[in-house]
Amino acid sequence: MMFCMKCGNQIPDGSVTCPVCGAPVENVAPQAPVAPAAPYAPGQVVPSTTTYDIGGFLKDFAKTPIEACTSRDQSKHFLLGLTFPALYCVLNFIFDLLADYVTTKSALFNFFEELVGFAAFFGIIFLLYKVFGVKQVDFLSTCSWAGLALAPYSVMILFTWINSKIVSGLDYKIFSISSVLTAATMVFLSVVLYDYFFTNKTEKGSKMKALYFAVTSIAVWKFVVLLLSWIDNKIFF
């Protein structure tokens, strides 16, 4: 049975007009039943994109150091990049133990001096890119490539300490191999940073801007480390 949409009276099925008020009858198509909603499905778990391929990095670093650093400059390699600053700090702390430096009252300050120095290095690089107009980087990728660029620095510390023991034992001090290794490492870091901003990346500035940026970052970092050492000497000695 149907009902008139105008007067509401019941009318026979198949009627064209309402027998009471004469209004035309509108044929309404039957509605299909609505299917019940599917139960809530949990979202797909996305695997972490952070990688830590220390073995692969060391293998590539032995062949092509610059390419090994600059090819792992993405945010997913930031943990790998933090390895070498951490290794550098640990090595210095161990050498301080062997040299009895930790028996002095400045030992703890010296250890934190290294940590603050490397934090300053990352911060300097992160802040100076605007001054020199080079490609913008985010914080994690900065941690990644800057730390990887410091890979030879931690190795340098080990060889410098070994050589100092040899030189001290032979009493052969015509020149300081530590200074030579430090200078060579600074040049290497400059090349790595320059290569990052010019060869492997889309650069907004000129070649010279990128090179100035690399050299200035290292120079400011070394200045901060020297300043911390000066403060250390003033406080404890």
pLDDT of the residue at 36 = 59
> Does residue 135 fall inside a structural domain?
yes
pLDDT of the residue at 64 = 78
The total domain count for the chain is 1
> Does residue 26 fall inside a structural domain?
no
* More confident of the two residues 110 and 82: 82
pLDDT of the residue at 73 = 78
Is pTM, for the whole model, over 0.75? Answer: no
- Asked if residues 200 and 70 have their Cβ atoms less than 8 Å apart, the reply is yes
Q: What is the mean pLDDT of residues 54-75?
A: 82
* Average pLDDT of the chain to the nearest whole number: 70
pLDDT of the residue at 230 = 81
Q: How far is CA 60 from its chain centroid?
A: 20
* Residue 45 confidence class, pLDDT cut points 50, 70, 90: very low
Structural domain of 92: 54-236
Q: Which of 82, 114, 81 is closest to 196 using CA atoms?
A: 81
> Does residue 168 fall inside a structural domain?
yes
pLDDT of the residue at 223 = 82
pLDDT single digits (tens) 75-93: 888 899 888 878 777 776 7
> Does residue 62 fall inside a structural domain?
yes
Q: What is the mean pLDDT of residues 195-207?
A: 63
Assigned token pair, 19:
């027998």
Assigned token pair, 233:
């000497």
Q: Which of 32-46, 146-160, 170-184 has the lowest mean pLDDT?
A: 32-46
Q: Which amino acid is at 226?
A: L
> Does residue 58 fall inside a structural domain?
yes
> Does residue 6 fall inside a structural domain?
no
* More confident of the two residues 233 and 104: 233
